[in-house]
Structure 1
Amino acid sequence: MGKSRTNKFRRPQFTAEGLSVTAVKEMEQDHGEVFDGVDSPAGELLEKLQSPSADVREFACASISRVVQQSQTIPGFLQRDAVRRLGPLMLDRSLAVRETATGALRNLSACGGHEVCDDMVKQDVMTPLTALLRETNAALSIKGQKNTVEDVANEAVNLLWNLWWTWLTHCSGHWLQVWLQHLCCHIIYRFLLPHNVNRSFTLLIPVLIVCFVLRPLTGSVWNLKSSLPTARQAQTLNALMATLSQCLELDAGTLIPQLHQAEVAQSATASEAGNMEDHQVAAGNMAVEEMEDDDEEGVGPRRNGKATKIDKDFSDLLPRGKEELREATALLTAQQTSLEIIVNMCCSDDPSDDEWEEASSSDESEMCPDGLSEGNTSLLSPLCLSAEVHGALINHNIPEKVLKKTKFPSSEAMDVCRHNPTWKILMKKMHQVQYRALTCLHNMLSTMDAESLGGAAALQAVAQHLSTLVFSPPEIPKEEEFLEAVTSAMRSLLQIIAYMKVPQCTTPQQMMSLSEAATRCDVVSVRVNALAILGITGSTLAKEKGTAETLQMIGNALLQVATKDANLVVCGEALDALFDVFADGDEAERAAENINLLSALKAIQPVFKAKIRKEGKGKYSPEQLCVMDNIKVNLRRFIGYLETVVKK
């Protein structure tokens, strides 16, 4: 994909070694010889950093940049406090000095390894660096200033990347705290998104941030939010949510065919020109070639000890390979990661073992009059989102964007991948995005109030959408990960709908077919979700007239699972669903009598208790044992309730 040519800021010309020509001549006059970076003492160059002459300061920075590419020289600079001396020059009044000072620190970070990077962070290099990025962002917003600061910005972002990569590979709590303290995600996002003009890669800026900044933090950045100062938490949350929102805004179904079309066009052009060079090599060298075409001023400090041209894009942050395919892969990876982060945001904290032990008390005084524990109904589970998180999700339209991602991948994008071997890897990734979106929807439905999600009408639309996903294909999809995600979402949605007394858009027969498909799945959570869905459906039907026959069908299905499933958690869920369906109502009483529910439960009771005693501690967690203990108590109480019904 091509890059548009822009007018460039004319800064002092550099030699092939990265030295200012003007500065070299001046130093030659002062010292009588051209500087040999390896042999000259670090102290002399560091002293030049304090010179009143901008050219001399620039020369000293450029010289340090070249010298530190030879790793044996780095200790000498570090011993003389080079980081603290170079840091303030990133904010020098001369843009050329800013660029070369930042470039020197960039090379120091690239050539010195993680120990040097760690030392740089400890010496507070992040404070001037983040200040530089903020100033650069402001300058780029001013008309006519863009080209004067692009080179400075390039060095600053690359230095930031080197420091971040070190944290990635040698992570510590100190590094993450520094990163979050300086809100680097927010800085990069605000710096890049409005101003990048070099290529259509602009659309993928939030993708880069998610892939290479947020993805490694999926499990930790949210957990460590409390370590930030209170004033910073809101800023961090908004910056994070803005990035996730922008990433989810992108339509992979449209972009993937466009990217593939661009790849085909470039391949055709290369073939016509007789270019036998591998396309990915050409793409990797593209930025260098354009810089050479412009002029010779673009020489600057680089990684790996080589003085090469400064490139202007961020494709080097992606895995090597075909450029368009890499962009498509990064897009899907970033959207999956964004959804995973939102899932974590919408999760309540797990109760401690002590809390579970307290909840597992079988004291009958905690039971309701009808024999069911108060904690048994998940319809009344408290919402767990803070006002800040709740507001951020709504303000950035996250629920709406998540819902769009729950759709099946577009047929056009799937066709592109299906008919091109190298692109087939994206098919699974597109499905992964859908699965994560469904899980995300489940968590939002579990933790957000109905009005925030759009009220009854919106919830009915979501229900219709989910039923379309499950029941529109010729047969219910068998993919386990899909079934787990979609049944979780349906379970949460049906709980809300039942609580609000909103009419369901699915028939009991459809729910039965889903349950039958789910019971053949090896994933326990899928079977549990399907049983819960049947329980919610049945408890709603029990309040309506003429539903006894349908309740009998549901009851028989639940009894079958409670009797035969080898997993105690699944058996317990089937019993729990039976309690919900047959707890009250004339239709429920009639159906219970027709299927001999009382006799069936009396036969199940001793078997269930024995399994808990024999298998419980060895195979199940304390949390699961707590739930089964409550179900065991509720089973006894429910049998007592049914006996009173029979005697009436």
Structure 2
Amino acid sequence: MGKARKPKVHKNKLNPTGLVDGNALIDQELSNGKSDSPIHAIAEQLQSSSAEEKICGLQTLATICQNDVNLTALVESDVVRIAASLLVDPDQSVRHATAGAFRNLSVLSVEICEYMVDQDVLTPLLALLNKYNGEWKPTIDRNMHDQLDEKSDTFLQAVNLLWNLCESTTLALDTFNQSQLLESLVKCLDWQIYGKEIAVTVAQCLLVISEDNTACWRILPNFGNELSSLLTLDGDNSCVLLRTVAAGIIANVPAIGSIYFSQLFATLSKTLDVNHRPVLGSLTSSLPLLNQKDVVHLEVTDDSHMDHESAEQAFQRRRRADMPSEVELEIRNVGWLLQAQRIAAEILTNICSTGEEEWHDEMDDDNLSDAESVHDYETTEQNDSLQNTDKLPTEILEAIKSYGFVEKLWQKAQPIAENVRQILVENDKNLFKRVNNLRASSMLCLHNLCNNISTEDLGGAEAIYQVWLELGQQVFQGEKNPRLLEASTSLMRATLEHLRKNPELFRQMTETDLQLMLTGVTDCHDPEIRANWLRMLGLLGCLLSEPLIKLIINFVLTTCLKEQDLWTISEAMDSMMDIFSENDWNQIVHDLDMVTKCKELDRRMKIKLKQNKRELNERYPAVCTVRTNLCRFCKYLETEMKKFRPSAEV
């Protein structure tokens, strides 16, 4: 119990370029009273015989669904099903606009991706991608920052869409497995032919597709040489990203990963070696220049000339208008680095996960023997033994140690300088989000390493204690980003597991210090983070003095009696029971009327287990185990209280 679920390598999703802002069109349409619904207007445009009308509707669709009202109207209409057929429209520009609009839509949520699959977007999407199955090569314009021709950019948008759908729903992945498109996608990893932008996007799509997908595992070993050749790629940050993602694909496929084991770890180390802080510092000195682009420059155009331009000329005109500035190119370059380092951390997380825990069948709680005692749930000794044992295969452990991954990941987990943070927040929130994602992924990787590497190999108890203190300072003094808080508290909890036998490190801890953690639980609205806090309180209850232990137990019981989330209650009670593994604390049990409170919690857990079995999913067996132990714990406390004479009565 307590091991983080194996995280997927999540992508940063960028909006497609080349699509005009449809908000002004919608506002104008509504103000003129032409339609009560922009969705209705889009549906009419999509069904027009005019390619220009279709493109206009698609460009509007690409922009309006950031609004929840429009999104609700969209899913209640047939617009997605109507637009899906345009992925194979005879007009290239229509296909391009459709792929871009659907890509924009697919980044909104998993639920939207599931809806798109339900609306049968996959059939025309796979048919579109199948058109690129022959001797196709993109045209890359070196004079326009390597921008792609329209046909190639359509392919790029389509692959991004496929990537998002396959990551969001297994139905999309199963459908892709039957499409026989995998080999043609792998060929596009040749960046010298297809360019780095296409190669990187295809690689990231394959990274998602190859995870836990045995259908892919039968094909990808045939391309081991092509994938491994990318591990030696040097160059700008697009090269860093491409070689890192290639390492991830190799790590996903057992038959290749075992062959290129050494190169794989060397690649991940090389990616994490780059210090992103000076890179961000240099960039932020230029970021305010972006604000100059907010000034609207009116361009006088010859409308009569535009009326006679071809589709290709119109596409080239839009490309020139959308050409990124030098600062925007640098932002993209830095974004690639942050993305590569985040993916490297997540690859390591997956490699260092020891697999899902095995659980026994749920026991019949009502038939527990009265002879069962506290020793049935004593796990501290076992946990101590586990924390001092390396659980990883020797070759992986040696690679982790020799490349210094623990230290490198800890550096990536640190907050950036305050002045740099402020500039990013004010000028490029997407890049700031990538910084936070890198920090969170690094901490989650360290969390897995803490669960699988001995205290000694992590640097010793004193070093781990310093990490715990620094994390605490960051949590209480830093920004309240939910993903960072969950990652930080997960790592704090994992480090604390290693300090069970080091109470001397906590001698200076006062009630004021402890109160910070209690406040952290009280003020937290996220059940996952609350579970981490409560778990830590239970661990501290094995390390602190009796007055603080009493405060912890009282707080945990009171909090759990008000808690609605069953997993949070389970984590808290499991940890609290550990407090009694080495000391009965009978006076505390008596003073806090623990028998009554624990029986009430046992009753509530039993009811909630029946109600929430489906929602708990893979956590259900773990919660059952805790509830079984809690039932035994109640019986044990009752037995002890019958023998106990309170100090006031002695």
Under a length normalisation based on structure 1, what TM-score does the superposition of the two structures give? 0.57
Which of 432, 436, 440 is residue 431 of structure 1 equivalent to? Answer: 436
1:313-346 per-position Cα deviation (integer Å, ceiling 9, x unaligned): xxx9x99992101112212222222222222222
1:360-395 per-position Cα deviation (integer Å, ceiling 9, x unaligned): 998659956645355896444465321122122112
Deviation at 1:618, TM superposition (A): 5.3
Cα separation, 2, equivalents of 1:535 and 1:494: 10
Q: Is 1:641–2:640 an aligned residue pair?
A: yes
Cα separation, 1, equivalents of 2:398 and 2:364: 32
1:483-528 per-position Cα deviation (integer Å, ceiling 9, x unaligned): 2111111111111011355613754543432233224323222122
Identify if the C-alpha distance between structure 1 residues 589 and 629 changes in structure 2 by more than 3 Å, giving closer, same or farther. closer
In structure 1, the partner of 2:588 is 591
In structure 1, the partner of 2:331 is 325
Contact 1:248–1:335 (8 Å) recurs in 2 = yes
Cα separation, 1, equivalents of 2:247 and 2:366: 42
Secondary structure of the 2:525 match is coil
Listed as ranges, the matches of 1:390-429 within 5 Å are 390-420=397-427, 423-429=428-434
In structure 2, the partner of 1:487 is 489
Q: Unpaired runs of 5+ in structure 1?
A: 1-70, 79-106, 134-152, 269-275, 277-303, 305-315, 542-546
Contact 2:378–2:578 (8 Å) recurs in 1 = no
Identify if the C-alpha distance between structure 1 residues 600 and 630 changes in structure 2 by more than 3 Å, giving closer, same or farther. closer
Secondary structure of the 2:458 match is coil
In structure 2, the partner of 1:213 is 246
Contact 1:257–1:413 (8 Å) recurs in 2 = yes
Cα separation, 2, equivalents of 1:592 and 1:641: 9
Deviation at 1:121, TM superposition (A): 9.0
1:251-299 per-position Cα deviation (integer Å, ceiling 9, x unaligned): 222102323556789999xxxxxxx9xxxxxxxxxxxxxxxxxxxxxxx
The residue type paired with residue 283 of structure 2 is: L
Cα separation, 2, equivalents of 1:74 and 1:370: 64
Which of 484, 496, 499 is residue 498 of structure 2 equivalent to? Answer: 496
In structure 1, the partner of 2:558 is 560
Identify if the C-alpha distance between structure 1 residues 507 and 403 changes in structure 2 by more than 3 Å, giving closer, same or farther. farther
Contact 1:371–1:638 (8 Å) recurs in 2 = no
Deviation at 1:173, TM superposition (A): 5.5
Over aligned residues, Cα RMSD in angstroms?
5.0
Larger Rg: 1
The residue type paired with residue 352 of structure 2 is: C
Which of 560, 570, 595 is residue 568 of structure 2 equivalent to? Answer: 570
Listed as ranges, the matches of 1:144-293 within 5 Å are 154-155=192-193, 179-180=220-221, 182-190=224-232, 192-193=233-234, 196=235, 201=236, 205-210=239-244, 213=246, 217=249, 222-225=251-254, 228=255, 233-261=257-285
1:198-247 per-position Cα deviation (integer Å, ceiling 9, x unaligned): xxx2x66323323x5356x5xxx54532xx1xxx5444232222222222
Deviation at 1:408, TM superposition (A): 1.3
The residue type paired with residue 250 of structure 1 is: V
In structure 2, the partner of 1:517 is 520
Secondary structure of the 1:481 match is helix
In structure 2, the partner of 1:334 is 340
Cα separation, 1, equivalents of 2:592 and 2:205: 65
Deviation at 1:639, TM superposition (A): 3.4
Which of 529, 533, 536 is residue 533 of structure 1 equivalent to? Answer: 536
Identify if the C-alpha distance between structure 1 residues 412 and 343 changes in structure 2 by more than 3 Å, giving closer, same or farther. same
Deviation at 1:175, TM superposition (A): 5.6
Higher mean C-alpha displacement, 391-400 vs 367-376: 367-376
Deviation at 1:402, TM superposition (A): 0.7
The residue type paired with residue 490 of structure 1 is: M
Contact 1:370–1:641 (8 Å) recurs in 2 = no
Deviation at 1:557, TM superposition (A): 0.3
The residue type paired with residue 608 of structure 1 is: R
Q: Is 1:384–2:391 an aligned residue pair?
A: yes
Contact 1:371–1:641 (8 Å) recurs in 2 = no
The residue type paired with residue 213 of structure 1 is: A
Q: How many residues were matched structurally?
A: 452
Cα separation, 1, equivalents of 2:355 and 2:377: 25
Q: Is 1:608–2:640 an aligned residue pair?
A: no
Deviation at 1:445, TM superposition (A): 0.7
Contact 1:548–1:590 (8 Å) recurs in 2 = no
Contact 2:199–2:242 (8 Å) recurs in 1 = no
1:386-420 per-position Cα deviation (integer Å, ceiling 9, x unaligned): 11221221122111011111211222432332343
Cα separation, 2, equivalents of 1:434 and 1:206: 18
Identify if the C-alpha distance between structure 1 residues 508 and 237 changes in structure 2 by more than 3 Å, giving closer, same or farther. farther
Identify if the C-alpha distance between structure 1 residues 187 and 155 changes in structure 2 by more than 3 Å, giving closer, same or farther. same
The residue type paired with residue 633 of structure 1 is: R
Contact 1:417–1:424 (8 Å) recurs in 2 = yes
Deviation at 1:617, TM superposition (A): 3.5
The residue type paired with residue 246 of structure 2 is: V
Secondary structure of the 1:182 match is helix
Deviation at 1:623, TM superposition (A): 3.8
Contact 1:558–1:577 (8 Å) recurs in 2 = no
Contact 1:484–1:525 (8 Å) recurs in 2 = yes
Cα separation, 2, equivalents of 1:408 and 1:347: 25
Under a length normalisation based on structure 2, what TM-score does the superposition of the two structures give? 0.57
Contact 1:359–1:626 (8 Å) recurs in 2 = no
In structure 1, the partner of 2:623 is 624
Cα separation, 2, equivalents of 1:428 and 1:445: 25
Cα separation, 2, equivalents of 1:606 and 1:412: 50
Contact 1:608–1:632 (8 Å) recurs in 2 = no
Secondary structure of the 1:478 match is coil
Identify if the C-alpha distance between structure 1 residues 252 and 526 changes in structure 2 by more than 3 Å, giving closer, same or farther. same
Which of 438, 442, 460 is residue 455 of structure 1 equivalent to? Answer: 460
Q: Unpaired runs of 5+ in structure 2?
A: 1-129, 137-151, 160-175, 293-298, 300-311, 313-322
Identify if the C-alpha distance between structure 1 residues 571 and 481 changes in structure 2 by more than 3 Å, giving closer, same or farther. same
Secondary structure of the 1:348 match is coil
Identify if the C-alpha distance between structure 1 residues 622 and 576 changes in structure 2 by more than 3 Å, giving closer, same or farther. closer
Deviation at 1:472, TM superposition (A): 4.2
Identify if the C-alpha distance between structure 1 residues 404 and 507 changes in structure 2 by more than 3 Å, giving closer, same or farther. farther
1:145-174 per-position Cα deviation (integer Å, ceiling 9, x unaligned): xxxxxxxx9459879879868967997866
Cα separation, 2, equivalents of 1:74 and 1:585: 69
Identify if the C-alpha distance between structure 1 residues 264 and 566 changes in structure 2 by more than 3 Å, giving closer, same or farther. closer
Cα separation, 1, equivalents of 2:291 and 2:285: 10
Cα separation, 2, equivalents of 1:122 and 1:569: 43
Contact 2:372–2:632 (8 Å) recurs in 1 = no
Percent of aligned pairs with the same amino acid = 19
1:427-468 per-position Cα deviation (integer Å, ceiling 9, x unaligned): 222112112222111111111111211123322332232222
Contact 1:403–1:441 (8 Å) recurs in 2 = yes
